[in-house]
Amino acid sequence: MDPKPVSASSAEFTHLVLPSDTNALGTIFGGRIMEWIDIGAAIVSERHCRKVAVTASMDALNFISPIKLGDIVILKAACNFTHKTSMEIGVRIEAENPFTGERRHTASAYLTFVALDDVGRPAPVPPVNPETPEEKRRFQEGQSRREERIKWKSRLKPKPTE
């Protein structure tokens, strides 16, 4: 499979925060942001592999600053790293004040997606080809995160009973 540049599948999404998206404090529900992150990452992963891809995991999601009613939310998603059948998709979330144009970083997330074949088994994905210094940094960090995920997953496996 030929490697694909990050730019071939990256995407940017914008949403306006409406009253139905907010809690009693007038800030966005965390679950709504998680939904948008998952959808954006799914689009990027399927663009990258041109197959059905499913969410395998989302690393910790930490909210840095609140997103308020009326803010514009910008999600920037890209394929950071690939392995045999999996892809790490990074998503950066920013909020923009529509009146001043000021943007602030509000959260980041890393998701692992697995490509599936026609019968639902893991399928090979093309390697990602990072080109810019930033993409190369994210690739190396994605490789390190994958190694940490493997360690974490092995700790979650049930131990055999005697």
Q: For residue 162, what pLDDT is reported?
A: 55
User: Facing residues of 108 across strands?
Assistant: 62, 92
Q: For residue 131, what pLDDT is reported?
A: 97
Q: What is the mean pLDDT of each run of 10 residues along the chain (162 residues)?
A: 96 98 97 97 98 95 94 98 98 98 97 97 98 97 93 80 62
- CA distances (Å), origin 72, targets 13, 31, 39, 94: 10, 17, 17, 8
Q: For residue 55, what pLDDT is reported?
A: 98
The dihedrals phi and psi of 2, each to the nearest 5 degrees, come to -75, 140
- Let me know: does 134 contact 114? Beta carbons within 8 Å: no
Q: For residue 89, what pLDDT is reported?
A: 98
Q: CA 94 to CA 102: how far, in whole Å?
A: 10
Q: For residue 143, what pLDDT is reported?
A: 95
Let me know if domain 4-156 sits in CATH 3.10.129.10.
yes
Domain-wise residue ranges, the chain: 4-156
Full-model pTM: 0.91
